[in-house]
Amino acid sequence: MKIVSIAEDKKIEKRISITPELVKKYISIGFEISLPKNYGVHLGFVDEEYKSQGVNIIENEKDLIESSDIIIQHGLPSNEKLSYLKENQILIGVLNPFANKEKLYTLVKKKVNSFSLELLPRITRAQSMDILSSQANLAGYKAVVESFAYFQKAIPMMMTAAGTVPAAKVLVVGAGVAGLQAIATAKRMGAIVFATDVRMASKEQVESLGGKFLTVEGVENLETEGGYAKEASDDFKKKQEDLLSETLKKIDIVICTALIPGKKAPIIIKENMIKNMQTGSVIYDLAAVQGGNTAFTEVDKIIDKDGVKIMGETNILNKLPISASSLYAKNIFNFVSNLLDKDNNKIKINLEDEIIEKTLIK
C-alpha cells in the first residue's frame, strides 16, 4: 500500500501532512511512503532526512499521484492534480466540502474515496484524529501573541516606584478550543480575562482557566448535539449585544473565535461597539476567513477604526507551521490507522464505523 503527499501552494499553506518522525510509524504498519522533491525543505525537513527514514523521493507529481493508493493533504489539490486521481484511490485532508461541493462531487463520480477531516464526529474515539482541535488550539495561542505584539502597553500589572501599570483586560469571544487556549495564554501572560459564548457548557471551562464568564440574562443553550455552536435567536442576539457594548468600553484586547460550521461567521462586534472602545485597543479576528466577527474585519489587513486595530489573517497557522504540521500529521496518521483492517492488513472502508461514515464524501 502506497501513501503519498504532494506539495501545497506555499503562498496559501505552509503546513505539511507527513513529517519525518511519522515515516517509520507508517512503514511499521505496512505502508510505503513517497514524496515529491523538497517536500518539507521550507520547514527544515530536507529530502535526505526523509530518505534516511525510508521515503522514496519522486520528482514527477503526476507519477507520484497515479502510483498511490492514498493521498494525504491539507487543502484540496488543484484541478490539474485532481484530474490524475483514479477509481478506488483515497484522498484525505481538510477538503472544505461546503466550498468545494462541485469538485468533490466530480471525485465521487470518479469513485475516488474522499475523506474530509473537519467532518469528524465529536466522539471520544475520534479525539486523536481531531484536526480542528489540534489546529484551533495553536491558533488561539498565536492570536493572543500576535495581538499582544500590536498592543502598545504592558500586559501584566506592574508595580514600580514610579507608579502602577494596570493589567490589560482581554475579552475572548467564543470559548471553543481556540477560545479556551486564548484564555489560558492571556492569563499566563498576566492579563485579566473575560469570555463569552452561546454555549452554557463553556462557563465551567472558562472559569477553570481563571476567566470570568459573561452571562446573558435568560441565556439559551445554543449547542448542537455535535458540540458546536448554533445560530442564536434575535432576542438572544440583542441581549448579548447590550452586554458586549458595556463590556467593550473597558476592554483592551479582543480575541474573536466565533464560527458556525459551513456558514458565514456571525458579526458580533458592531460598528457602534468599536466606536465605544478605548483608543489603542486591539481586536484579533480568527473568524476573518469566514467573514469575521466584527463589522470591519478584512482578511490579511490591519484596519484602524477610530484608533482600534482590527486584525485577521487567511491562515494564522502559517506562522506556526512546524508545530501545526507535527500535530496535523499525527491526526492524519491516526485516521489512516483507523482505516486499516488489522485482520488482513489492508484498507477497509467500513461504513459501520461512525468516524469513516461521517467523513466520507458521498
Nearest to 114, CA basis, from 129, 97, 131: 97
Short-list 70, 60, 59, 65, CA closest to 3: 70
- 130, 197, 252, 285: the catalytic one is 130
Catalytic residue among 47, 84, 122, 128: 122
Q: Is the pTM of this model over 0.85?
A: yes
133 catalytic per annotation = yes
26 flagged as catalytic: no
Domains belonging to the chain, first-starting first, are 2-119+320-357 (3.40.50.720), 136-318 (3.40.50.720)
Is 284 labeled as catalytic in the residue annotation?
A: no
Q: What is residue 270's predicted lDDT score, i.e. its pLDDT?
A: 94
Instruction: Record the cell numbers describing residue 259, joined without a space.
Output: 464560527
User: How far is Cα 338 from Cα 129, in angstroms, rounded to an integer?
Assistant: 9
152 among known catalytic residues: no
Distance from C-alpha of 139 to C-alpha of 178, rounded to nearest angstrom: 6
List 127, 208, 233, 278, catalytic entry:
127
Write out pLDDT tens, residues 300-357: 999 999 999 999 999 999 999 999 999 999 999 999 999 998 878 889 999 999 999 9
CA angle 220, 225, 226 (to 5 degrees): 120
DSSP string, 121-188: ---GGGGGG-HHHHHHHHHHHHHHHHHHHH--S-SS-EEETTEEEPPPEEEEE--SHHHHHHHHHHHH
**In 3D, which of 264, 256, 308 has the Cα closest to residue 286?**
256
What cell was used for 40? 518539507
Query: Among 114, 43, 42, 39, which residue's Cα sits nearest to residue 76?
Result: 114
- What percent helix, strand, coil does the chain show, rounded to 5? 40, 20, 45
pLDDT tens, 193-210? 999 988 888 999 999 999
Residue 84 designated active-site: no
**Sites in the chain below the pLDDT cut of 70:** 217-233
- Please give the Cα distance from 4 to 82 (Å, whole number): 14
Q: d(Cα 4, Cα 57) in Å, to the nearest integer? A: 10
